[in-house]
């Protein structure tokens, strides 16, 4: 195969995943958390495709497609929650939304 | 009816008649009159006496007078350990049966007059019949366990009767003290019995006495010590004597019956009955004698300063029982039992005479306020004098014959025998002194104004000294106190010793020679007469005053500080320990442990609660970290 | 109906009656009468069993067996030995007195109350007749449910804390026992007590003992005792002390001693020490207790110690004495608590400092309290004396110091019991004793007098129980032979 080695793709995927994870952990705005979650998913997707290319079969690509479908569904639910929160005039801030604390 | 059947029938009748009396009185309740309750009680004890006579006559006719045990049913059984509800009729038990039921009947008759007018008379007569039943069970019990049962039940009856006027805190306290000290004796007695059971598996007299011969000397000494502990507690000998003076809180007939004639003599009976065990543990037997000798002197000394008429007689009882312990302890069992018999007569007489006086003076018991009552109550005075002379041991009164045999028996024992002998003679002096101190302070002379006033108020004009129910028993006992001793005069004739021989043969070492007997008799009679003379000088004529030695007087008045010692040694530490444990251990440790453990569970929950921050990022962090750890573990173990 | 099914009847009749009471909307009077009737019928059936029992024959009698979880070898197996016969008798008599007391006093929410009391009867009898470990455990726990509710609803001021403490303490022990039961059953292949083998496992021994030592209770696991006895209604305290406590001691006798002979020997000294400590500690604390119920409660602790002393002495005398004492103390304790209840109803308190002088004008109360009191302190001649004497004689055969400690406890018992009697009956009238505090009425007498009569009869003939508790009166052989 020509082109950069799998490692480069994995590196970018890891970078994307890490950025996303950091965003989820650090950012307070709910929408930004959802965005970061998407970035994480995309990082995972990239890793899957890279491995698929390396292995030579299409398993990783199929899996990446189902991940995209799940991601889309999850975004719907997440944005629906955001809209519901906004309708109730609640702050879109994960630190404030802590009613489930023990 | 065969002889054997007569003995059994007499014994069972004697035992259960008083119990029937108690049950009848309790069943009657308030439906029967108080007077009737008294007569039911008296008749039941009289029937018991008839039974005792019947058994005695039958036994007397039997050659050998060996003891026989009859069992009605098995009381307690566990495996091969078997205790029957049985009665024993042998010379020793039949003698005790006669004394207990005979003197008992007289005293219960006396109670009818003494307790007349008391609201709770029926309860009194129920209790006193129950006491007679218990005492008869003690003396008739056919095995050691039944003896212990009787032992405990007389302690119970004593508690009920001492605390009869239960609204008086002093009476209640005295009753409790008597019971607890006796319970201590019960406990030591039980421990002795446990040793016997462990070795022979049986508590019948025959087996136990045979086993005693096979035990090591330490073991048999422990058994004997256990028996002695019980005997000393019951008979109020040092060191378990402090309950007896307080027991005078009970009605006077109770003092006469329980604390003079019968219950307190049970210890002597026990030593005589279990003498085979004591003879195997000769040291313990001699300790018993020593305790008796010590008590007879100490009690005699304390009696010198008592001002309550009943307390004087109580300490006198303690002292006389000391004589009996001395006799039984050195091995002169029949001498001890003889003194038990004569003592029952004259001591009951003295108590009852005192009771007549107390009754006449409307409850006054202080001898300093009774001066001259003899003039108003001549019958009582002469009867009391007979009792007093019997007590001191002046011939021909009964005490002389019995007391001297005991003192003479000590002469062949060695150096401690002489100590005992000296105590016995000193005791005779003290007896003369305190008895006639009492006599001279109370009876002779002109009645004081107080006396005239009380007597007048109580009896009206020219009345009798008391109801016949009180005077007749006093009279009968006065006769017995005078002639009762003529049954046996050691140098010449000894019916009692011969009678008791099959059951309790006197040890050879305790048999004095005729010369020793005469010598002792002279010594004790002289000592007694000297005591009387000194009493006359001090109290009769008041020619001489006693030199004042405050420390000695304090010691005597505080009864040598035994009560204070026991309070400090036993009661206060037990009470403090119970309080300390209750407050500083039970509350904080035991009771709190459960709630504390529960609180700990709650606290841990509280800690775990901190993980639930409610913040999204915490949860995500944990998910991520957990995943990373799992992945790491997976990679490493792969 | 065969004689063998009477055993099951004794268990399920009250439970069935409880269901009836809960389901049917009967009036308070009808409910109470039904409960009293059922409890008396129970006594009748027990008397029939006792009359037909063959005391010379070893092995289980009046047995019934049905399969339950056949793959685990768990069966519904009930039956009676001689000692369990006596304990069943104690249970039915005590429960009859307690139900009678509840009827006499009148409890609100009577359907719930009587249903629970009947359930308690059935469960307790079940404990004493079960011969399968899981069945035993089921009934053991089933005893707790009605007690929890009875104390928690009808108890005194501190009832909630008391009942929760009681429940958690007892359940902790029971859960350990459950673990032990499961391990034992799986190892042995059967949960049956009659067929099951012995085990040498010390952990299993401890698991079982932990539950029983809390139930009895023995020092220092008695933390639940004072509060539960003080806060429960008097008749429930009576049953707790007189019957339920004996269930723990019965467990030691039926399960622990035969099934774990080696661990029993190994831990014997420790258990005897705990028993002796309970005896002394309970007596001392009874002596200092400020209220009527406290004295009886700590006295119960002491007596449990005495009975355990007899059980673990491993001698014939000790075992016979322990069974006798279980029955005697059970009756005494029930009577004392009922009398305490009667006093509390009249004077609103059990504080000894406030009572006094009740003997004057109240002959029935004075006589009953005196009679039961002196039997309680084991006055020689009484049934409890016979039991105590046998236990201590047996303990002496094990080692002399146990008997010496027991003998000391005799003196302590005299002290605390006489203190109780005098504080209630004697001296000056207490501040709470008014003229309205009448003597015991016919209803109360009808409850306590029969108990006292049985005690007096037992005192005249203690061999009735002591000689007839084990087949052929060879307790140690019976235990070694696992009661087969």
**Is the pLDDT reported for residue A7 higher than 80?**
yes
Cα-based distances in Å from B548 to B368, B532, B545, C312, C361: 19, 20, 9, 63, 51
Instruction: Tell me whether residue C301 is in a domain.
Output: yes
A102·B611 Cβ contact <8 A: yes
Q: Is the dihedral of CA B358, B360, B361, B362 positive or negative?
A: positive
pLDDT band at B41 (very low <50, low <70, confident <90, very high): very high
> Average pLDDT for residues B72-89, to the nearest whole number?
91
**pLDDT tens profile B18-38:** 999 999 999 888 888 888 999
Kindly identify which residue of chain B lies nearest to residue C287, measuring between CA atoms. Answer: B578
Look at residue B456 in the predicted model and tell me its pLDDT: 62
**pLDDT tens profile B582-603:** 788 877 777 777 778 788 888 9
Cα-based distances in Å from B425 to B428, B530, C309: 5, 11, 51
For the beta carbon of residue B414, count every other beta carbon within 10 angstroms.
11
The residue to which tokens 């304790």 are assigned: C333
Cβ neighbours of A33 in B, within 8 Å:
616
B152·C385 Cβ contact <8 A: yes
How far is residue B285's CA from residue C379's CA, in Å, rounded to a whole number?
A: 28
Q: Which residues of B100-110 are buried (b: 16+ CB within 10 A; e: fewer)?
A: bbbbbbbbbbb
**pLDDT tens profile B213-270:** 888 888 999 999 999 999 999 999 988 899 999 999 999 999 999 888 888 889 999 9
Q: Which residues of A13-26 are buried (b: 16+ CB within 10 A; e: fewer)?
A: beebbeebbebbee
Radius of gyration of the CA atoms of chain A, in A: 17
Kindly identify which residue of chain B lies nearest to residue C383, measuring between CA atoms. Answer: B76
pLDDT band at B212 (very low <50, low <70, confident <90, very high): confident
**pLDDT tens profile A18-71:** 999 999 989 999 999 999 999 999 999 999 999 999 988 999 999 999 999 999
Q: Which of C426, C433, C464, C465 to mutate to test the interface with B (most CBs of B within 10 A)?
A: C426
A102·B616 Cβ contact <8 A: no
How far is residue C365's CA from residue C348's CA, in Å, rounded to a whole number?
A: 16
The answer to whether C232 touches C150, Cβ cutoff 8 Å, is: yes
User: Which residues constitute the domain of residue C311?
Assistant: 272-484
| Interchain contact A/B (3 or more Cβ pairs less than 8 Å) | yes
Q: List all chains that touch chain A, counting a touch as 3 or more CB pairs closer than 8 Å.
A: B
Radius of gyration of the CA atoms of chain B, in A: 31
Cα of B122 vs its chain's centroid, Å = 24
CA neighbours closer than 13 Å in the CB half-sphere of residue B603 = 6
CA neighbours closer than 13 Å in the CB half-sphere of residue C112 = 13
**Which H or E run includes C64?**
strand C61-69
Phi, psi of C77 (to 5 degrees): -125, 110
How far is residue B273's CA from residue B252's CA, in Å, rounded to a whole number?
A: 29
B616·A94 Cβ contact <8 A: yes
SS3 B308: strand
The answer to whether B232 touches B181, Cβ cutoff 8 Å, is: no
* Residue of B41 and C1 predicted with greater confidence: B41
Nearest by Cα to C451 from C125, C84, C100: C100
Burial classification of residue C480, based on how many CB atoms lie within 10 Å of its CB (0-12 exposed, 13-18 middle, 19 or more buried): middle
Instruction: Tell me whether residue C93 is in a domain.
Output: no
Using the Cβ of A33 and the Cβ atoms of chain B, whether some distance falls under 8 Å is answered with yes
The distance in angstroms from the start CA to the end CA of chain A is 54
Kindly identify which residue of chain A lies nearest to residue B620, measuring between CA atoms. Answer: A25
Look at residue A94 in the predicted model and tell me its pLDDT: 87
Look at residue B364 in the predicted model and tell me its pLDDT: 83
The residue to which tokens 């793959």 are assigned: C71
B614·A24 Cβ contact <8 A: no
**Which H or E run includes B347?**
helix B333-360
How far is residue C306's CA from residue C323's CA, in Å, rounded to a whole number?
A: 11
Kindly identify which residue of chain C lies nearest to residue B134, measuring between CA atoms. Answer: C381
User: How many distinct helices (H) and strands (E) make up chain A?
Assistant: 3, 0
Look at residue B546 in the predicted model and tell me its pLDDT: 66
Look at residue B501 in the predicted model and tell me its pLDDT: 85
How far is residue B379's CA from residue A91's CA, in Å, rounded to a whole number?
A: 115
SS3 C419: helix
Cβ neighbours of A101 in B, within 8 Å:
612-615
The answer to whether C116 touches C150, Cβ cutoff 8 Å, is: yes
| Interchain contact C/B (3 or more Cβ pairs less than 8 Å) | yes
How far is residue A75's CA from residue C414's CA, in Å, rounded to a whole number?
A: 83
pLDDT band at A15 (very low <50, low <70, confident <90, very high): very high
- Has the ipTM of the complex gone over 0.90? yes
CB pairs under 8 A between B and C: 160
Partner residue opposite C223 with nearest CB, options B145, B577, B593: B593
Look at residue C415 in the predicted model and tell me its pLDDT: 93
Q: What is the DSSP string of B24-68?
A: HHHHHGGGS-HHHHHHHHHHHHHHHHHHHHHHHHHHHHSGGG--E
Look at residue A1 in the predicted model and tell me its pLDDT: 55
Cα of C6 vs its chain's centroid, Å = 22
The residue to which tokens 């009681």 are assigned: C166
Cα-based distances in Å from B135 to B321, B496, C242, C379: 17, 22, 33, 15
**Which H or E run includes B302?**
helix B282-303
How far is residue B135's CA from residue B19's CA, in Å, rounded to a whole number?
A: 11
**pLDDT tens profile B113-144:** 999 888 888 999 999 999 999 999 999 999 99
Domain count for chain C: 1
Partner residue opposite C463 with nearest CB, options B76, B186, B187: B76
How far is residue C348's CA from residue C433's CA, in Å, rounded to a whole number?
A: 9
Q: What is the DSSP string of B99-164?
A: HHHHHHHHHHHHHHHHTTT-TTHHHHHHHHHHHHHHHHHHHHBSBHHHHHHHHHHHHHHHHHHHTS
Instruction: Tell me whether residue C290 is in a domain.
Output: yes
Look at residue B458 in the predicted model and tell me its pLDDT: 59
Look at residue B367 in the predicted model and tell me its pLDDT: 84
Taking each helix axis from N to C end, the angle separating A30-55 and A6-26, rounded to the nearest 10 degrees, works out to 160
Kindly identify which residue of chain A lies nearest to residue B607, measuring between CA atoms. Answer: A102
Using the Cβ of B183 and the Cβ atoms of chain C, whether some distance falls under 8 Å is answered with yes
Using the Cβ of A73 and the Cβ atoms of chain B, whether some distance falls under 8 Å is answered with no
Instruction: Tell me whether residue C395 is in a domain.
Output: yes
Instruction: Tell me whether residue C417 is in a domain.
Output: yes
- To the nearest whole Å, the CA of A99 is away from the closest chain B CA by 6
Q: Is the dihedral of CA C59, C62, C67, C68 positive or negative?
A: negative
Q: What is the DSSP string of B233-286?
A: HHTT-TTS-THHHHGGGS-HHHHHIIIIISGGGHHHHHHHHTHHHHHHTHHHHH
B75·C462 Cβ contact <8 A: yes
Radius of gyration of the CA atoms of chain C, in A: 21
The residue to which tokens 């059947």 are assigned: B5
Look at residue B213 in the predicted model and tell me its pLDDT: 87
For the beta carbon of residue C316, count every other beta carbon within 10 angstroms.
25
How far is residue C265's CA from residue C270's CA, in Å, rounded to a whole number?
A: 10
Cβ neighbours of A94 in B, within 8 Å:
615-617
Phi, psi of A93 (to 5 degrees): -130, 115
Look at residue B461 in the predicted model and tell me its pLDDT: 44
Kindly identify which residue of chain B lies nearest to residue C417, measuring between CA atoms. Answer: B176
Q: Which of B611, B613, B615 to mutate to test the interface with A (most CBs of A within 10 A)?
A: B615
How far is residue B388's CA from residue B443's CA, in Å, rounded to a whole number?
A: 12
Partner residue opposite A25 with nearest CB, options B609, B610, B617: B617
Lowest model confidence (mean pLDDT) among A12-21, A81-90, B473-482, B557-566? B557-566
How far is residue C393's CA from residue C391's CA, in Å, rounded to a whole number?
A: 6
The answer to whether C331 touches C454, Cβ cutoff 8 Å, is: yes
- To the nearest whole Å, the CA of C114 is away from the closest chain B CA by 30
Instruction: Tell me whether residue C9 is in a domain.
Output: no
Instruction: Tell me whether residue C123 is in a domain.
Output: no
Which tokens belong to B299?
């009690």
Using the Cβ of B546 and the Cβ atoms of chain A, whether some distance falls under 8 Å is answered with no
**Which H or E run includes B81?**
strand B81-89
Instruction: Tell me whether residue C199 is in a domain.
Output: no
Using the Cβ of A101 and the Cβ atoms of chain B, whether some distance falls under 8 Å is answered with yes
Nearest by Cα to B373 from B459, B442, B463: B442
Look at residue A39 in the predicted model and tell me its pLDDT: 96
A101·B620 Cβ contact <8 A: no
**pLDDT tens profile B423-479:** 999 999 999 999 999 998 888 888 877 777 777 665 554 457 788 888 999 999 999
Look at residue B543 in the predicted model and tell me its pLDDT: 61
How far is residue B357's CA from residue C113's CA, in Å, rounded to a whole number?
A: 63
Mean pLDDT (chain B) is 88
For the beta carbon of residue B165, count every other beta carbon within 10 angstroms.
16
pTM of the model: 0.90
Burial classification of residue B537, based on how many CB atoms lie within 10 Å of its CB (0-12 exposed, 13-18 middle, 19 or more buried): middle
Q: List all chains that touch chain C, counting a touch as 3 or more CB pairs closer than 8 Å.
A: B
SS3 C417: helix
Which tokens belong to B313?
């007689």
How far is residue B247's CA from residue B231's CA, in Å, rounded to a whole number?
A: 17
* Residue of B540 and B351 predicted with greater confidence: B351
- To the nearest whole Å, the CA of A60 is away from the closest chain B CA by 20
The answer to whether C43 touches C102, Cβ cutoff 8 Å, is: no
- To the nearest whole Å, the CA of B356 is away from the closest chain C CA by 27
Cβ neighbours of B156 in C, within 8 Å:
374, 379
Cα of B324 vs its chain's centroid, Å = 13
Cβ neighbours of A34 in B, within 8 Å:
none
Which tokens belong to B329?
């302890």
Partner residue opposite B148 with nearest CB, options C380, C400, C412: C380
Q: Is the dihedral of CA B237, B240, B242, B248 positive or negative?
A: negative
Mean pLDDT by 10 residues, chain C (484 residues): 86 95 92 95 95 89 90 91 95 96 92 96 96 95 94 91 89 93 92 91 94 93 91 95 95 95 94 95 92 95 96 94 96 96 90 89 91 95 96 94 94 94 90 85 92 95 93 88 87
């Amino acid at each position: 195969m020509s082109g950069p080695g799998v490692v480069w793709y994995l590196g970018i995927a890891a970078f994307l995943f890490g950025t996303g994870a950091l965003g989820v952990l650090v950012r307070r705005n709910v929408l930004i958390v959802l965005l970061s979650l998407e970035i994480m998913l995309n990082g995972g997707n990239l890793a899957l495709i890279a491995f698929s290319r390396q292995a030579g079969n299409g398993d990783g690509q199929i899996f990446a497609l189902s991940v995209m479908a799940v991601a889309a569904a999850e975004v719907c639910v997440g944005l629906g929650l955001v809209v519901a929160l906004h309708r109730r005039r609640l702050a879109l801030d994960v630190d404030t939304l802590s009613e489930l604390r023990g | 009816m065969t002889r054997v059947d007569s003995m059994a029938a007499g014994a069972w009748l004697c035992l259960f008649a008083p119990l029937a009396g108690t049950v009848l009185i309790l069943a009657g309740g308030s439906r029967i009159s108080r007077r009737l309750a008294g007569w039911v009680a008296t008749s039941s004890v009289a029937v018991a006496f008839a039974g005792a006579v019947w058994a005695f006559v039958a036994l007397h006719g039997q050659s050998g007078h060996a003891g026989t045990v009859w069992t009605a049913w098995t009381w307690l059984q566990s495996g091969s350990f078997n205790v029957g509800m049985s009665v024993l009729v042998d010379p020793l038990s039949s003698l005790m049966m006669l004394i207990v039921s005979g003197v008992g009947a007289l005293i219960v008759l006396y109670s009818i007059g003494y307790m007349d007018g008391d609201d709770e008379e029926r309860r009194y007569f129920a209790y006193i019949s129950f006491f007679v039943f218990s005492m008869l069970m003690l003396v008739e019990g056919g095995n050691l366990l039944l003896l212990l049962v009787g032992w405990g039940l007389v302690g119970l009856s004593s508690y009920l009767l001492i605390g009869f006027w239960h609204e008086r805190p002093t009476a209640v306290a005295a009753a409790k003290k008597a019971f607890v000290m006796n319970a201590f004796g019960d406990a030591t007695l039980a421990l002795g019995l446990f040793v016997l059971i462990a070795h022979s598996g049986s508590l019948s007299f025959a087996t136990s006495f045979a086993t005693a011969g096979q035990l090591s000397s330490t073991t048999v000494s422990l058994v004997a010590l256990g028996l002695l502990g019980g005997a000393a507690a019951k008979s109020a000998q040092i060191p378990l004597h402090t309950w007896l003076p307080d027991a005078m809180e009970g009605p006077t007939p109770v003092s006469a019956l329980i604390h003079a004639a019968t219950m307190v003599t049970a210890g002597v009976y026990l030593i005589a009955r279990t003498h085979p065990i004591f003879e195997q543990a000769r040291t313990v037997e001699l300790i018993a004698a020593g305790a008796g000798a010590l008590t007879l002197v100490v009690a005699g000394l304390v009696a010198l300063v008592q001002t309550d008429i009943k307390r004087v007689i109580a300490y006198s009882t303690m002292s006389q029982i000391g004589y009996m312990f001395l006799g039984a302890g050195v091995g002169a069992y029949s001498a001890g039992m003889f003194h038990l018999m004569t003592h029952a007569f004259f001591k009951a007489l003295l108590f009852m005479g005192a009771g007549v006086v107390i009754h006449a003076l409307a409850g006054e018991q202080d001898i300093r306020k009774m001066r001259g009552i003899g003039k108003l109550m001549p019958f009582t005075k002469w009867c009391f004098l007979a009792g007093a002379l019997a007590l001191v041991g002046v011939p021909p009164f009964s005490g002389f014959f019995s007391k001297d045999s005991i003192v003479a028996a000590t002469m062949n024992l060695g150096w401690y025998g002489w100590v005992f002998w000296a105590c016995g003679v000193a005791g005779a002096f003290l007896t003369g002194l305190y008895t006639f101190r009492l006599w001279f302070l109370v009876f002779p002379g002109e009645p004081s104004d107080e006396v005239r006033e009380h007597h007048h108020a109580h009896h009206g004009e020219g009345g009798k000294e008391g109801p016949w129910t009180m005077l007749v028993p006093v009279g009968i006992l006065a006769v017995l106190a005078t002639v009762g001793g003529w049954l046996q005069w050691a140098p010449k004739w000894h019916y009692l010793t011969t009678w008791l021989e099959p059951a309790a043969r006197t040890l050879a070492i305790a048999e004095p020679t005729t010369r020793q007997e005469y010598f002792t008799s002279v010594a004790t009679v002289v000592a007694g007469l000297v005591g009387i003379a000194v009493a006359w000088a001090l109290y009769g004529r008041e020619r001489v005053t006693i030199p004042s030695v405050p420390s000695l007087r304090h010691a005597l008045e505080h009864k040598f500080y035994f009560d204070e010692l026991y309070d400090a040694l036993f009661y206060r530490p037990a009470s403090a320990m119970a309080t300390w444990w209750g407050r500083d251990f039970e509350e904080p440790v035991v009771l709190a442990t459960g709630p504390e453990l529960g609180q700990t569970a709650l606290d841990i929950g509280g800690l775990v609660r901190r993980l639930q921050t409610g913040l999204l990022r915490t949860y995500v962090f944990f998910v991520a970290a957990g995943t990373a750890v799992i992945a790491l573990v997976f990679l490493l173990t792969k | 109906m065969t004689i063998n099914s009477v055993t099951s009847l004794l268990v399920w009749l009250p439970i069935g009656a409880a269901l009836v009471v809960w389901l049917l909307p009967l009036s308070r009077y009808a409910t109470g009468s039904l409960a009293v009737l059922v409890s008396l019928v129970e006594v009748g059936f027990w008397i029939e069993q006792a009359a037909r029992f063959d005391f010379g024959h070893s092995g289980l009698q009046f047995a019934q067996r049905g399969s339950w979880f056949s793959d685990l070898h768990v069966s519904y197996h009930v039956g009676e030995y001689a000692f369990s016969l006596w304990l069943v008798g104690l249970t039915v008599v005590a429960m009859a007195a307690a139900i009678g007391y509840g009827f006499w006093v009148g409890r609100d929410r009577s359907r719930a109350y009587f249903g629970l009391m009947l359930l308690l009867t059935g469960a307790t009898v079940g404990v004493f007749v079960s011969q399968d470990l899981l069945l035993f455990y089921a009934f053991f726990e089933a005893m707790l449910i009605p007690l929890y509710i009875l104390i928690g609803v009808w108890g005194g001021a501190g009832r909630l804390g008391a009942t929760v403490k009681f429940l958690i303490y007892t359940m902790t022990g029971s859960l350990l026992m459950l673990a032990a039961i499961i391990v034992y059953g799986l190892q042995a292949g059967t949960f049956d007590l009659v067929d099951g083998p012995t085990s040498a496992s010390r952990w299993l021994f401890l698991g079982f003992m932990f539950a029983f030592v809390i139930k009895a209770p023995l020092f220092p696991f008695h933390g639940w005792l004072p509060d539960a006895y003080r806060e429960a209604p008097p008749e429930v305290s009576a049953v707790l002390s007189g019957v339920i406590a004996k269930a723990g001691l019965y467990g030691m006798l039926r399960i622990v001693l035969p099934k774990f002979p080696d661990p029993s020997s190994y831990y014997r000294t420790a258990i005897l020490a705990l028993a002796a400590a309970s005896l002394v500690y309970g007596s001392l604390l009874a002596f200092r207790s400020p209220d009527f119920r406290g004295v009886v409660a700590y006295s119960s602790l002491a007596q449990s110690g005495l009975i355990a002393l007899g059980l673990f002495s491993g001698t014939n005398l000790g075992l016979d004495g322990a069974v006798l004492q279980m029955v005697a103390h059970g009756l005494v304790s029930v009577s004392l608590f009922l009398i305490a209840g009667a006093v509390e109803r009249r004077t609103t308190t059990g504080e000894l400092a406030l009572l006094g002088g009740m003997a004057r004008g109240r002959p029935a109360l004075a006589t009953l309290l005196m009679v039961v009191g002196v039997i309680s302190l084991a006055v020689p001649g009484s049934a409890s004396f016979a039991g105590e004497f046998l236990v201590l004689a047996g303990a002496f055969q094990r080692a002399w110091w146990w008997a010496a400690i027991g003998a000391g406890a005799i003196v302590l018992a005299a002290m605390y019991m006489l203190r109780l009697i005098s504080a209630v009956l004697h001296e000056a009238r207490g501040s709470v004793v008014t003229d309205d505090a009448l003597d015991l009425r016919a209803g109360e007498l009808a409850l306590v007098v029969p108990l006292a009569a049985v005690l007096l009869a037992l005192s005249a003939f203690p061999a009735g129980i002591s000689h007839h508790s084990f087949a052929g009166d060879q307790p140690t052989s019976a235990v070694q032979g696992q009661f087969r």
